[in-house]
Structure 1
């Protein structure tokens, strides 16, 4: 029942703006994780997509046609995501927005977008496989992937001169591979760096005490956490109570929603990275500031990183379609790799061999903001995608494995 309600609301919100436009509607679609373990990410993505469609239709739609958005809830289930995406494309959808978890993103990319030749944009999943090892010509991504984020982190750490580093992450294939990759990047930037501790924890761990004690005993001068979302919240609360954190020594992914959830438990002064911090976007220029303010007026809250990037997905497709003067898949994808696009995070282009957006990774310190009434990542540096994106040789090598 909840999936049917979510789909109905998504279609209704798109339909309300149709009076502003004319002609046969252009259908776009998404199978989102609106229930299950990734529901919070799915909800943010849904808000960003719906808001983008509302804005487009108020401006006259795309190519003079209204845009209709169909969103369905896959329950954080890859097989369901494939079934839903297939049905929506058969119903006429000419553009897909990827699900949130990496397994579903990859499944829909391979089974639906590639085989049915429909452009699909990635706005949440950070797996490198989508644009590297498992690349297919109808995919494009506006979220800095794991390679880009970790490369940006290594660039930052090298400037700070840390020598003894500890790394902790979730005990999964992705968590371990991210740590392995970060170690490689750190040593490339500074061969003198020594890894003094490496710990892995189960997803959803409720007690980080033993892990934090092991890390503290190794006496690192910098600690990286590869956790995200609820695990960052739990780790932060327990580490703060233990006195684990030292100024400038802890680093993790601090998206706006995680910091909002942490509230008073946020570790002020700790460092982190983000893909689309809403507080920084208000300083990037009138268009980015206007997006944040209008989103806040629409939903009663500031846009989370995933909402902003999903908005960018839809707007990038709309720009590419307008420049191509066509909704045909090959025309749109040719436009994607040939043009520069406006976004909530500034202008960027896409790599020609991976269709990875050269988007920035933002790095800074956690501060308490009176303006936003929550902790925020006060950005000190924006590492451009042109510096952090994988070189073509690395991308091509990954496809031979």
Structure 2
């Protein structure tokens, strides 16, 4: 490809880089031509100057001021693994956008800080970064931090914020504000789907295990209510609430075994689920309950669990990479490219974060503006391409009709670690709350 062709194809952030390289090549060519064809020297110089001018005009038209995205992420603390995976997904999305010419012809940047899973720190960091010129905010991963940031930053500063990890239903129901939108299943949709799955089974005596924080307690309450609604015969024989980030689950394990449940339902994820599962395996817990166990899994957790996974048990995932590989060429290309770049497939948290950024980018392009109100109107009225299929957002809650994936834990021979083989995909439209339920959640108690 000659220099003029390279210049014609230059775009976005790559424009100046390509021209710099091409300029060196052309100057070398010019020196050679000057030796062999001195009489054409002036003509070559004129051509070079013209190409410089043309390229400069092209670059300035396609780059412009970068569009700034920011986020206060949980990169340390009890949900650090979720935060780190979220960051990988955001960075992968930013790279993809910039390679494709950016958004509205402008490059996209992402600045972030580590909040250490501290809600007040997340609010302070998000406020500072937004006031520094950001037009889009990624939510933290811990539910408490996300609830704080949505109220104190996104709502007050009127900046669109996307939720990719926190499953607290309060974000889009009770504490909803118009500049937030969520691409992840929340407590209502995920727990209704789980209750639908288990209500079909013969189990009657349930043990519930959830970390002691607002989001997990909300999930636990929802599951309990839905299970009783769908299976009035069900009985909760024990409820355990170890602290978030617990390092010793022995007491809870012994109490659950003593209660002799038919089934154990856990609302643990990330490091908590790994720590619990390893201790449970060492104590023979899964064998004693015959793997009648339900967990919230993701790619990173399954890879880390290894022989400590409750093989034969059940679980839920939000964006399983093994399923995405088989769901279509676009999702397969995404998984393959992510793995080629990072050395491992995307976890659920990475894919959800990727979908957040790409949904926002599509809304901006639809609105032809980064103006907050215009972008939110586009979110409310659009259909968006994501790695989990096309999604729409409820006008009353800005929650995506995201599918929920259920399956059975198996030993993955090809993957070299346990996988959740998807057996059921429940569309978000089947498990989302009604408008009446959303409005009721917002009424003063």
TM-score, scaled to structure 1: 0.91
Aligned to 1:390: 433
Aligned to 1:93: 134
Aligned length: 388
Change (3 A) 1:370 1:104: same
Greater share of helix residues, 1 or 2? 2
Change (3 A) 1:301 1:364: same
Aligned pair partner of 2:305 in 256, 262, 281: 262
Aligned to 2:87: 46
User: Alpha-carbon deviations, 1:30-76, whole Å to 9, x = none?
Assistant: 12122333322221111111110100111111111111221222232
- What is the root-mean-square deviation of aligned Cα atoms in Å? 2.0
Mean alpha-carbon deviation: is it higher for 306-315 or for 23-32?
23-32
Q: How does 1:364-375 map to 2 (within 5 A)?
A: 364-375=407-418
SS of residue in 2 equivalent to 1:341: strand
Aligned pair partner of 1:324 in 353, 367, 389: 367
Q: In the alignment, is the contact (CA less than 8 A) between 1:44 and 1:307 conserved in 2?
A: yes
Q: In the alignment, is the contact (CA less than 8 A) between 2:143 and 2:214 conserved in 1?
A: no
The whole-number CA distance in structure 2 between the counterparts of 1:31 and 1:83 is: 9
The whole-number CA distance in structure 2 between the counterparts of 1:184 and 1:358 is: 21
Q: 1:190: Cα distance to partner?
A: 1.3
Match status 1:206 vs 2:239: no
Match status 1:223 vs 2:254: no
Q: For structure 1, which runs of at least 5 residues remain unmatched after alignment?
A: 1-13
Mean alpha-carbon deviation: is it higher for 258-267 or for 243-252?
243-252
Aligned pair partner of 1:65 in 93, 99, 106: 106
Change (3 A) 1:296 1:102: same
Q: For structure 2, which runs of at least 5 residues remain unmatched after alignment?
A: 1-11, 19-61
Aligned to 1:353: 396
The whole-number CA distance in structure 2 between the counterparts of 1:277 and 1:313 is: 16
SS of residue in 2 equivalent to 1:283: coil
TM-score, scaled to structure 2: 0.83
Aligned to 1:11: none
Q: In the alignment, is the contact (CA less than 8 A) between 1:15 and 1:68 conserved in 2?
A: no
Aligned to 2:37: none
The whole-number CA distance in structure 2 between the counterparts of 1:80 and 1:15 is: 33
Change (3 A) 1:201 1:73: closer
Aligned to 2:190: 149
Aligned to 1:376: 419
Q: 1:16: Cα distance to partner?
A: 7.6
Match status 1:113 vs 2:154: yes
Match status 1:313 vs 2:347: no
The whole-number CA distance in structure 2 between the counterparts of 1:217 and 1:34 is: 37
Aligned to 1:5: none
Mean alpha-carbon deviation: is it higher for 50-59 or for 79-88?
79-88
Q: Which has the higher contact order (CA 8 A, sep 6+)?
A: 1
